[in-house]
Amino acid sequence: MANVNLPAGLSVDEDQGILTIQYKGRAFPGFMAIFMAGGFLAAIGLRLLLGPVEGDVSFALVFGPILSFVVFLGVRMVVNTTSITADGPQIVVKVRPLPLRPARRLSVADLQSIEVKRETQTGKGGTKIYYSVVANHRDERTTRLLRFKGLEFKEPTHFLKEKLEKKCRLHGERGSLGEAGPRGGSSGLDGS
């Protein structure tokens, strides 16, 4: 798998013994969230400025924070980059510049394997396929390192799995399985 075409926004670099994987997600859903929620926030603000009618203030107090959080999530989708750094003894997963939680540090000694999971979700828009790179811990926990939407990520996800396994020297029983079978709905994985 040496010659894998990486999708736009995904990069892999190995320099001075440190493997760095960076992913800048697709911005379109983020722009839609900013546009829609931002538009509603602007409408609420304009209505309050022009002279609120009875009930407008309570409406703004309830929906203002919710819409503000949706705008934050949209901005986060547009500007954030997920970075995974593996230097042998640990894997560090960071989401920057607007994280929802601190960086996750995984000790390689606590890991059993790295695996690719294929998940499917069926909804109103049809069936969506997701590929995730997950770390399986020795104590049966699972941590999602990255998650991608779309078939174009099948090969790159396996490529990332192999790079992480090689860097962390993980070739356990579960790590060699490759791709787990399809799942419906939520995978129950923690992580982003």
Kindly list the distances between the CA atom of residue 66 and the CA atoms of 27, 38, 61, 78, in Å, as whole numbers in the listed order.
21, 11, 9, 19
> For position 179, what pLDDT does the model report?
47
Q: What is the pLDDT along the chain (192 residues), one digit of tens a residue?
A: 556 888 888 999 999 989 999 998 766 677 778 888 888 888 888 877 887 677 667 777 888 888 888 888 888 778 888 999 999 899 999 988 887 788 999 999 999 999 999 999 998 889 989 999 999 999 999 999 998 888 888 999 999 999 999 998 886 544 333 444 443 333 334 333
Burial class of 23 by CB neighbour count within 10 A (0 to 12, 13 to 18, 19+):
buried
pTM: 0.71
The pLDDT assigned to 174 comes to 41
- 124-140 burial string, b = 16+ CB within 10 Å, else e? eeeeeebbbbbbbeeee
**Rounded Cα–Cα distance for residues 111 and 92 (Å):** 13
Cα-to-chain-centroid distance, residue 173? 26
* Model pLDDT, residue 173: 45
> Residue 35: in which H helix or E strand, if any?
helix 28-49
CA angle 141, 182, 161 (to 5 degrees): 55
Residue type, 19: L
Which pLDDT value is given to residue 112? 94
CB atoms within 10 A of CB 93: 21
What is the sign, positive or negative, of the torsion defined by CA atoms of 159, 164, 166, 167?
A: positive
